Amino acid sequence: MRKDKLVAALLQAIALSALAGLMIITVFIFKEGLPLIFRTGLKDFFFSADWEPGKGNFGIMSMIIGSLAVTLGAMLIGGTLGLGMAIVLTQFCPPKLASLIKPTIELLAGIPSVVYGFMGVVTLVPIIRNYLGGPGLSVLAASIVLGIMVLPTVTSISIDALKAVPRSYWEGSVALGATRWQTTHMLMLKAARSGIVAAIILGMGRALGETMAVIMVAGNALEVPGSVLDPVRTLTSNIALEMGYASGEHREALFATGVTLFAVIMIFNTIALSFARRTIRQGRGQ
Amino acid sequence: MNPKIETKKLNLFYGNFHSLMDISISIPAQSITAIIGPSGCGKSTLLRCFNRMNELIPEVKIEGQILLDGEDIHKPGTNLIRLRRRVGMVFQRPNPFPLSIAENITYGLRVHGTPEGQKPADIVEKSLRGTLLWDEVKDNLNGPALALSAEQQQRLCISRVLAIEPEILLMDEPCSALDPIATDHIEDLMRDLAQKYTIIIVTHNMQQASRVSSYSAFMLMGELIEFGRTSRIFKNPGDTRTESYISGRYG
C-alpha cells in the first residue's frame, strides 16, 4: 500500500511539472512582453505598420496582417481540401481504400517543416515567379505550403467527426430516398458540424504557429501586402528572424509579438476544444 | 386479391452465408402483415429487401424477384429514389435527425421536391397530425427533435415517412425501444394507418403480432415456414414448427 501511494505521488508530481512548465513559460513571456506593449501604447503597437527597432518604433500591424493573410490562404486551400478528403473517405470511398489513404495523409504530419519550406522554395516559388509574376516569395506560396501542412490535422479530425455521426442517421436518410451526396450535405455535415469547426480551428492554429516553412517561402518583407503575389512577414517569422541580434527594447518587442501570437492561438484552441466537447456529447446522444 | 408486393424464390447471401432461402410471399394491400420468428431467422433482412436497403452492405448477393405492383424492383433502370419514396421505412430505434422537428419532416420534401400546389408548412402539419403528434409539438416546431421523448421521436420518424406519401410502410421492431404504454399508442396508430397504407412489421413480440396484424408470416433459419391470416396462424398453425414457436417452446 505504501508503495502505491509513493507511485501515485510521483506520477502526480510528473503531471504537475508539465503544468508548471506551461505556467512558467506563460508568465515569462508576458512579463517580458507586456510592459513594452503598454509603453508603446496599444494603438501604436497593434495598429501601426512602423517596425523600426533602431528608432524605437514597434508597430506590428503589417505582421498581424501577414499572419492573418497567410493563415486565411492556408485554410482556403487546406481547409477545403481536407474537408473534401474527409467527405470522400467517409462517405464515398470503399472502406478498405479509406483505411489505406487515411494513414498516408497522417504521414504528412511527420515530415519536418523545413522540408516543406525547401520544396516550396525549389519548386513552388519559381513557378509563381515565372507564371504569375512578382518575386515568387509571397502570400500565395506560403498559403499553398501551409495549406498542405494543415491537411493531416483538418482531414483526420474531420474524418473522426464524420465517423462519430451515428449510422442510424445515415440509414434513415438513405431510406427516405436521399442520395449519398444529399445525405452528406443535408445531414452528415450538419450532424458533424462542431467537430468540423474544431478541425478547421485547430488547422488555423497550426498555420498561424508555423515558422520555418513560412520564413523560407513568404519573402519576409516588412510591408502590408497589396496582393497575394507580394511578400509578407508573419508574427512568427519576425521573432525567429530577429531574435539572434535583438537586445533591450527590441528584444522586449519580440516577446510582445510572442504575447500576441500566444493570445490568438490560446483563443483558437479554446474555441476548438469547446466545439470538440460538444461533438462528443452529441455522439452520446445527450 | 391483388398483392401489393410479392417475392418469388428470393434468395439472399451475405458472403457465403445463405440468409434467405427461396422466400415466396404475397403481401396484400392496405393491411398489416407481421413477420415473426426467432432472432437471426432473417426477418429484418427480408424487410430490408423491400426497399433495397441490403445493397448498402458489401458482399450481399440477391437472387429471385421482388414485385411491387407487379413490377420487378431489381429491373435495370429502376429508379431507386422513387422506390424508396414508395416504400418507406421506420427503424427499430427512433432515429430523428439532429435537426428541428419541422426540418425532420421537410427532409424528404427536400429530397423529392414538394408536390405542386402544396406548401411545406401544410405537409408538416398534415404529417404530424397523421401520427397524433401535432398537438404536442405545434408550438415548438423549430425545437430540436432530439429533445422529444422516445415515443414522440418514433412518431416523428413515422411522420417523416408519411410526409413523402409512401404506399408501403416497413417497420422494423418499431416498439422495441418503447415502454408498454407508448407501444400501445403506436399500435393504435398502426391500425389507423393500415386504412391507407400497406404495413409490414417485423416483431419478436408474438402478442404484438396477434394484436395488430391481419396476416402473419413465420420465418425460421432463413426459410418462410408459413404465411396466412393471423387468426388462423395463431389458432390453427399448419406446421408443427410454427406451433411450437407460438406456444413458446423455442425462440
Global ipTM: 0.90
Q: Cβ separation of A182 and B53 shorter than 8 Å?
A: no
Nearest-angstrom CA–CA distance, A159 and A87: 7
Q: Per-residue confidence at B1, pLDDT binned at 50, 70, 90?
A: low
A278 in contact with B, Cβ within 8 Å: no
pLDDT of res. A280:
56
pLDDT of res. A284:
46
Q: How far is A176 from chain B (nearest CA, A)?
A: 6
Chain A residues with CB inside 8 Å of B108's CB?
176-177
Closest alpha carbon within chain A to B144: A286
Q: Looking at chain A, list the stretches that DSSP marks H as alpha helix, in order from N- to C-terminal side.
A: 2-40, 42-46, 61-74, 80-87, 95-107, 113-119, 125-131, 139-163, 167-175, 180-183, 189-191, 193-209, 212-218, 235-242, 249-283
- Measured in whole angstroms, the distance separating CA A165 from the mean position of its chain's CA atoms is 25
Q: Cβ separation of A186 and B146 shorter than 8 Å?
A: no
Nearest neighbour of B84 by CB, restricted to A169, A177, A285: A177
Q: How far is B231 from chain A (nearest CA, A)?
A: 32
pLDDT of res. A285:
43
Nearest-angstrom CA–CA distance, A158 and A203: 11
Which residue out of A93, A99, A176 would a mutagenesis test of the B interface target, given it has the greatest number of B Cβ atoms within 10 Å?
A176
A272 in contact with B, Cβ within 8 Å: no
Give per-residue pLDDT as tens, B203-232.
Answer: 988 889 999 999 999 999 999 999 999 999
Give per-residue pLDDT as tens, B132-162.
Answer: 899 999 999 999 999 999 999 999 999 999 9
Chain B residues with CB inside 8 Å of A177's CB?
80-85, 108, 111-112, 164
Nearest neighbour of A187 by CB, restricted to B81, B91, B97: B97
Q: Mean pLDDT of successive 10-residue segments in chain A (286 residues)?
A: 88 93 93 93 92 91 95 96 96 90 91 95 96 94 97 94 93 94 94 92 92 95 93 96 92 94 88 75 47
Contacts 24+ apart (CB under 8 A), A220-224: A220/A137, A222/A49, A222/A51, A222/A62, A222/A63, A223/A49, A223/A62, A224/A49, A224/A61, A224/A62, A224/A65
pLDDT of res. B49:
95
Nearest-angstrom CA–CA distance, A244 and A106: 34
> How is residue B194 written as a grid cell?
393500415
Q: Cβ separation of A175 and B51 shorter than 8 Å?
A: yes
A&B contacts, CB < 8 Å: 68
Query: Is B102 within 8 Å of B124 (Cβ atoms)?
Result: yes
Amino acid, single-letter form, for residue A17: S
Mean pLDDT of B156-177: 93
Q: Per-residue confidence at B251, pLDDT binned at 50, 70, 90?
A: very low
Please tell me what DSSP assigns to residue B114. Answer: P
In terms of C-beta density within 10 A (0-12 exposed, 13-18 middle, 19 or more buried), how is residue B84 classed?
Answer: buried
Q: Cβ separation of B81 and A179 shorter than 8 Å?
A: yes
Beta-carbon count within 10 A of B249 CB:
10
